[in-house]
Amino acid sequence: MPAAAQYPAATVKPEPEQRIVERHLRQRGFRWTSQRALIVRTALATHDHFTADQLLLRCRRSDPRVSRATVYRTLTVLEQAGVVAGLETGDGGRRFEHVIGHDHHDHMVCRVCERIFEFCDQELERRQEAAARRIGFRIERHSLRIHGVCRACQRGRQDG
């Protein structure tokens, strides 16, 4: 939704995100198949951080024939194409989020409710770059995850 800001002022209506993804993939020589359309549509409709398996199940509600392998292969393609980003939750699990039209952000993971909160701090990024520069390391990406307990879980529903 904040994607609109990235279009020239003249463009009144931004293209639907799905089209952007399609173009993204085609430009990189990937084919646009009905399965990929379904998987992308489903992933874009999902606002939380989903696992591969959750995505598979959601896709199968629309078409029970999608195979698990295709979902995994498509997630790999989408990750390469910069459409989704994988993130590790710290308990060995892998989750994904779509990044089209989203700014970079980091995550706080609540141990109690398992919800994931996004936050962003430019200064944080700058300090990382400075630290890297100090040892001549070239940053390509980074992953910052803060674990703890969210505000809601601190009052009342503390533990399980």
Residues forming the site for a second copy (CB under 8 A): 88, 90, 92, 94, 108, 110-111, 117, 119, 121, 123-124, 127-128, 130-132, 134-151, 154
Closest to DNA by CB, 11 or 51: 51
Four-residue CA torsion sign, 24, 14, 38, 55:
positive
Spatial distance between the Cα atoms of 52 and 104, rounded to a whole number of angstroms: 21
Closest to a second copy by CB, 6 or 143: 143
Residue 68 sits in the site that holds DNA (CB under 7 A): yes
Interaction partner, residue 76 (DNA, a second copy, none; CB < 5-8 Å by kind): DNA
Closest to a second copy by CB, 34 or 158: 158
The three-class DSSP label of residue 118 is strand
Interaction partner, residue 110 (a second copy, DNA, none; CB < 5-8 Å by kind): a second copy
Which backbone phi and psi does 118 adopt, to 5 degrees?
-100, 145
Question: Cβ-count burial of 96 within 10 angstroms (0-12 exposed, 13-18 middle, 19+ buried)?
Answer: buried
Residue 30 CB, nearest approach to DNA (Å):
4
Residue 31 sits in the site that holds DNA (CB under 7 A): yes
Site for DNA in 75-114 (CB under 7 A): 76-77, 92-94
Which pair of tokens denotes residue 30? 């990937």
CA distances from 57 to 46, 64, 78 (A): 12, 8, 18
